[in-house]
Amino acid sequence: MLGYTLDFVCIDRRLIVEVDGRQHGWEADYDAERTAEIERFGFTVIRFRNAEIIDDRDAVLAAIRKAAGG
């Protein structure tokens, strides 16, 4: 989408899930611009840090379900 490589996309729910590794601490401005551009196309973007996925998988899955409307 728009030339970006996205981690996970659910077209039916217009939902994008991004997993941010350590490099994203240095790319906050880029990530914010990219998110804003994608959201202009009607998508919701949710982001998780690698540590969140590893340490609290249940909360991450619950957040994805909620964002997907389920």
pLDDT average, residue stretch 20-44: 84
Q: pTM for the whole thing?
A: 0.83
**The predicted structure's pLDDT at residue 23:** 62
What gap in Å lies between CA 57 and CA 42, rounded to an integer? 27
The burial class, CB within 10 Å (0-12 / 13-18 / 19+), for 55 is: exposed
Band the pLDDT of 3: cuts 50, 70, 90.
confident
What gap in Å lies between CA 39 and CA 41, rounded to an integer? 5
Answer yes or no: are the C-beta atoms of 5 and 33 closer than 8 Å.
no
Which residues share a beta bridge with 18?
A: 47
**The predicted structure's pLDDT at residue 21:** 79
With a cut of 70, say whether residue 13 has pLDDT above it.
Answer: yes
User: Can you give the residue ranges of every domain in the chain?
Assistant: 8-67
